[in-house]
Amino acid sequence: MKYLLAIIIFCTLTFTCAAQNVGIGIQTPHASAALDVTSSTRGILFPRMSTIARLAINNPAQGLLVYDSTIKQMQYYDGSSWRAIFPDNTGWRTGDPIAPIQGTTPFIPILTENDKRLVFVGGTDIQDLALAGTGWKGGGLIVKGVDYEVGVYDYLTFDGNGIEARRLALGETIKRNLTLNRYNGNVAIGDNGGSHARLEISGSVGASVAMFGADKYGVTISADNPEIGFNYFYNNGTKTIKAGYGGYIGMTPGNGNIYIGNFDGAQSTTNFGAITGASIKMYILQNGNVGIGTTNPTYKLSVNGNIRSKEVVVESNWADYVFKDDYALLSLKETEKFILENKHLPGVPSAKEIQENGLAIGDLQTKMMAKIEELTLHIIELEKQVVALKNRK
């Protein structure tokens, strides 16, 4: 009697049956549902079994639903074969091998596993639902892979436009990863059509767009601040391809200035290892000024440091104007007066001016030659006076 009473209480608390409706966790099951389950803390756990066990079910009923623990998918039986149930960007879909591809026959399924599709199109155009409106011409060959766990589709398409590798993630628009245009042979890597160059790459890893010689002391091309790196690249920090030194040449988009730099003698100790101390060594402005050791060159060549050379040729106006008849040659008395008042030769910059503005070699050489020529004229005049005195004797 106690057991019977317990069973009656249990059924009263957990099940409500009316006509042919069964409710669990609800007093009044919905009229349209044979089984109405209500809970805010728990779900329904379907039968779980391996692929081998699922395929071994004898005479499965149409609509039978189980969870395949081997491939981690919900599977249902459609009356003739098992199909996967998986989400995509439009909702829930089944794993029918042909349904996602629409068009007019003939098309021949070559490989029809749920996660691998290879379809040959005999001549008439077809179009994959996910490829509609993305430039897919139709006709040719589609290789389709699906990752049901994360809702990602991968396509390799061969059509009237060329060859493309595309990717479609759940909730996103389809993206091109690789394009080979059959008409002009242009190759595009990234989500573009490759219409601007023979090889067009969009996107980057960090700032690095391309790396050549990744197993050597190679070269990289970087975006944003466009740079060519020599055994150097940027990806979450400055790094070298191989252990050792690195250098770079680049351009600042904001002002168009070009720069050359290295890492001030620093080295990385491992392949693809970090390197610090980036330092610009040469700067070229838009106006053509070049700076070495300075990023603000105010002359055609500004050097912050010492220069050693075998010879320097300076183009400048020369001082032969001193010998012209209309040249106003100061007398030695006038020169003496100027020196006493200003503490430097007339026409020559003072020490303060040289310290503040630097020494203009060409201009100063001309002024020094003018002083030599002036001095020569004074010596000639003095010699004339000496000769005249001798003649008087």
Q: What is the mean pLDDT of residues 126-136?
A: 48
Q: How many CB atoms lie within 10 A of CB 6?
A: 10
| Helix then strand then coil, % of the chain, to nearest 5 | 20, 35, 50
Q: What is the mean pLDDT of residues 21-35?
A: 84
Q: What are the pLDDT digits (tens) for 68-101?
A: 888 777 888 888 888 877 665 555 555 543 334 4
Q: Where are the domains of the chain?
A: 1-43, 81-203, 205-308, 320-392
Q: How far is CA 102 from CA 46, 57, 166, 265, 340, in A?
A: 32, 32, 18, 62, 102
Strand partners, 109: 119
Mean per-residue pLDDT over the chain, rounded: 79
* pLDDT score, position 141: 66
Give 113's pLDDT tier (boundaries 50, 70, 90): very low
Q: How far is CA 183 from CA 123, 196, 245, in A?
A: 19, 14, 43
Measured between alpha carbons, how far is 71 from 118 in angstroms, rounded to an integer? 20
* pLDDT score, position 183: 73
Q: What is the mean pLDDT of residues 210-232?
A: 91
pTM: 0.56
Helix (H, G, I), strand (E, B) or coil at 306: coil
